[in-house]
C-alpha cells in the first residue's frame, strides 16, 4: 500500500479524489489517498503551496513532493524540504495557456478593441497587418512558453524567444541569458511573459527594458506579477511607450479593489485565470511520478532548487 497525502486547500479535494484514484488504478498502483495521515506514514505528498503543510521535516519516509501548480516560488525556498520537488506539467494546463496567450495576442494584433469601439454606423475599413509583420517576443521558452511560441509561429508571427539556456524552436528567433535579453526585446510590439518568479527574474521588466520595446507596444503577463516593476509599467503606459498591458498575475492576489490597475483605461485585469491545472490530466502526471518513485526511476519535472524553478 502506498500512502499519498493530499495537502492542498480542502476545496480542491472534491475535484481530485476521484481523478487521482482513477489515475493510480490505471497505473496498477495500490494507493491509500487521504487528506490526513500521521506524517511518518506518508510516501508522497500531493501539494499546493497554500496548504497548511509548511514543515516537511516530520515526513521522514516521503519520497517526493508533487506540486499541483507549475509555479513553485512559494515552496522552492522552504529549507525543511529535503526530498525532490516536482512541479506540475500537464496537457490541460499547457493547452489552456496556449489558448489564453494566443487569444490575447490576437486581440491586440487584430485591433479588436478599436473594432468594438467603432461600431457607430460609419464604414471605416482598417486592415490589420499580417502576423508575419508583427513582432512578438516570448520571454520564457519552457513548457508553457514553448507551446505558446509554437502556436504563434504556426500563425506566422515574427517571433523571438528568450530563455536562460539556449533553446531552438522552429520559426522562432531564440536568444538566451542576460546578453540576449536586449536583442529579444528591442523593437518588440507584443511581449508575453511566461517566466517563473525567481531571484533572477524578479523585477525583470524595468523602465529601461520597457524602453527597448517598439513605441506603443503591448505587454501580456500570465507569468507572475513580480516580474514587472509596476511603477515603471504605469509610467510607460502614461508616456505611450506602452499602449496596453494585459495582466493576469499580480504582486498581491487578489488584486486589491483600490489598485490603480483595475480602473486604468490601458490595463486589462484578469484574475489569475490564464490557465489552471486540470484534475484529470494532472492526476495522470502525479500517478506517473508515483509509479516512477516506486520503480526507482527518475521523477519527471524535478525542480532545480539552485535555479529556483
Ligand atoms: N497565470 C497562470 O494561470 C499560470 C499558470 C501556470 C503557470 N504560470 C506561470 O508560468 C511560469 C512558467 O511555467 P513553465 O511551466 O513554462 O515553466 P518552465 O518549463 O520551468 O519554463 C521556464 C522558462 O523560463 C526560462 N527562465 C527561467 N529563469 C530565467 C532567467 N533567469 N533568464 C531567462 N530565462 C529564464 C527558462 O529557461 P530555460 O529554458 O533555459 O530553463 C524556461 O525557458 C510558471 O513558473 C508560473 O509562474 C502561470
The predicted-structure confidence for 168-214, as pLDDT tens digits, reads as follows 999 999 999 999 999 999 999 999 999 999 999 999 999 999 999 99
Query: 193 and 221 in contact (C-beta within 8 Å)?
Result: yes
Q: Is the pTM of this model over 0.85?
A: yes
**pLDDT (average), residues 120-125:** 93
Quote the mean pLDDT of the chain: 97
Residues 6+ apart with CB under 8 A from 229: 203, 205, 206, 207
**From 138, 142, 147, 150, mutation site for ligand 1 pocket: most ligand atoms within 8 A of C-beta:** 142
84 CB near ligand 1 (under 6 Å): no
Q: How far is the CA of 195 from the centre of ligand 1 (A)?
A: 4
Q: 255-288, pLDDT tens digit by residue?
A: 999 999 999 999 999 999 999 999 999 999 999 9
pLDDT of residue 10: 84
Atom of ligand 1 nearest to the CA of 248: 1
With the most atoms of ligand 1 within 8 angstroms of its CB, the residue from 48, 75, 144 to mutate is 144
Burial class (CB in 10 A: 0-12, 13-18, 19+), 209: buried
The three cell numbers locating residue 149: 511560441
Tens-digit pLDDT profile for residues 26-50: 999 999 999 999 999 999 999 999 9
Amino acid at each position: 500500500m502506498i500512502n499519498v497525502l493530499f495537502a492542498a486547500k480542502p476545496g480542491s479535494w472534491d475535484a481530485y479524489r476521484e481523478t487521482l484514484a482513477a489515475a493510480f488504478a490505471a497505473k496498477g498502483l495500490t494507493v491509500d489517498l487521504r487528506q490526513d495521515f500521521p506524517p511518518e506514514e506518508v510516501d508522497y505528498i500531493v501539494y499546493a503551496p497554500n496548504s497548511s503543510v509548511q514543515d516537511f521535516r516530520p515526513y521522514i519516509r516521503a519520497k517526493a513532493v508533487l506540486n499541483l501548480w507549475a509555479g513553485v516560488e512559494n515552496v522552492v525556498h522552504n529549507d525543511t524540504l529535503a526530498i525532490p520537488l516536482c512541479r506540475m506539467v500537464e496537457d490541460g494546463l499547457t493547452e489552456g495557456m496556449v489558448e489564453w496567450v494566443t487569444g490575447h495576442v490576437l486581440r491586440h494584433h487584430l485591433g479588436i478593441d478599436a473594432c468594438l469601439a467603432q461600431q457607430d454606423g460609419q464604414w471605416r475599413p482598417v486592415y490589420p497587418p499580417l502576423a508575419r509583420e508583427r513582432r512578438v517576443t516570448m520571454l520564457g521558452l519552457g513548457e508553457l512558453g514553448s507551446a505558446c511560441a509554437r502556436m504563434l509561429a504556426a500563425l506566422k508571427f515574427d517571433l523571438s524567444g528568450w530563455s536562460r539556456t539556449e533553446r531552438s524552436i522552429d520559426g522562432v528567433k531564440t536568444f538566451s541569458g542576460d546578453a540576449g535579453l536586449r536583442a529579444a526585446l528591442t523593437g518588440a510590439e507584443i511581449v508575453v511573459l511566461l517566466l517563473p518568479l525567481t531571484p533572477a527574474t524578479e523585477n525583470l521588466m524595468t523602465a529601461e527594458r520597457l524602453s527597448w520595446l517598439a513605441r506603443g507596444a503591448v505587454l501580456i503577463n500570465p507569468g507572475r506579477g513580480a516580474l514587472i516593476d509596476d511603477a515603471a509599467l504605469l509610467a510607460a503606459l502614461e508616456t505611450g511607450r506602452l499602449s496596453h498591458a494585459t495582466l493576469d498575475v499580480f504582486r498581491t492576489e487578489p488584486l486589491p479593489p483600490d489598485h490603480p490597475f483595475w480602473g486604468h483605461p490601458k490595463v486589462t485585469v484578469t484574475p489569475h485565470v490564464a490557465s489552471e491545472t486540470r484534475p484529470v490530466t494532472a492526476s495522470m502526471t502525479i500517478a506517473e511520478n508515483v509509479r516512477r518513485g516506486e520503480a526507482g526511476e527518475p521523477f519527471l519535472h524535478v525542480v532545480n532548487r539552485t535555479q529556483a524553478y
